[in-house]
Amino acid sequence: MTPFDRIYQDSIEKILKTGIEETNHRTGHKTKALPGLTFSTDISADGFPLLTLRKIPVGMFIAEQMWFIMGSRKPEDFLRDHTKIWDIFTNPGDVVTVAYGYRWRKHFGRDQLGKLIELLQKDPSSRHGVIVTWDPASDGLGGVARKNVPCPYTFTVNIIGGKLHLHNIIRSNDMMLGMPADVAGFALLQCMLAQKLNVKPGIYTHSISNAHIYDIHYAGAQEIIDRKHNHKPINLHLPENSFDRAENRDPKLYQEIVDDLEAQYHPGEPISGLKIVL
């Protein structure tokens, strides 16, 4: 198994065996959950963290991350050509109110992602590289009812030892469906930022406040624990100027990254019955 496969399998086993089972009031489903689950993987040493124990739709997280970098909040803008994953969260104007990229680039009155790059170009040693997605004026705390509030709500970027490291903080992660896609998507962002700043990608860290498995996914989780899959580490070969090309909505970039990963990707069979719980 790849290093990330082992991390994922160990996390699922820990939650299934030692997680606290409670009924979630909002969804009506039982979950087994653990607080404060954190893991790290070194992209340069361990390879790109794409789960191979079961098939993950490669094009989905690539299109999603490009859409985030664009700063858009309308799925019709590039995203829907490749995935409809955000369609269920649109309002009557076909806008995703909490679109992560829009919040990174426009919502708070400054281009956080652009400022991050400027900061680290001027001062690679800076510890001020913090990007915030969560809007305390409206998100959570029993405030405005929404179809969705950000799960990955902030991340920090540091250049240490000539490598770019990204620490992603997640308030809530569906471990069977959401977490593998989140890891791959933000690791892709990390690699694009590293390339933009002319350094290598380093350690990706994923910290989850509430890491849970839904009751309808218990059987699938056990199947993940039981699986053995011999897969070589995956090494992402980013096309040149990937960040700038993503900003400029280059459709060729999407296909180039898809082709690179799919040429190396030989996952296990899909697991049946993994339905999204909203």
CB 245 within 8 A of CB 188: no
Spatial neighbors of 5 by CB under 8 A, at least 6 apart, are 51, 52, 53, 229, 231
CB 16 within 8 A of CB 240: no
Other Cβ atoms closer than 10 A to 153: 22
Give me the residues paired with residue 143 across strands. Answer: none
Which two structure tokens, joined as six digits, stand for 237?
């070969």
**DSSP string for residues in 218-235:** HHHHHHHHH-----PPP-
Residues labelled as active-site residues: 151
d(CA 131, CA 103): 9
CA angle 128, 200, 41 (to 5 degrees): 80
Asked whether the CA dihedral 93, 97, 101, 105 is positive or negative, the reply is positive
d(CA 145, CA 195): 39
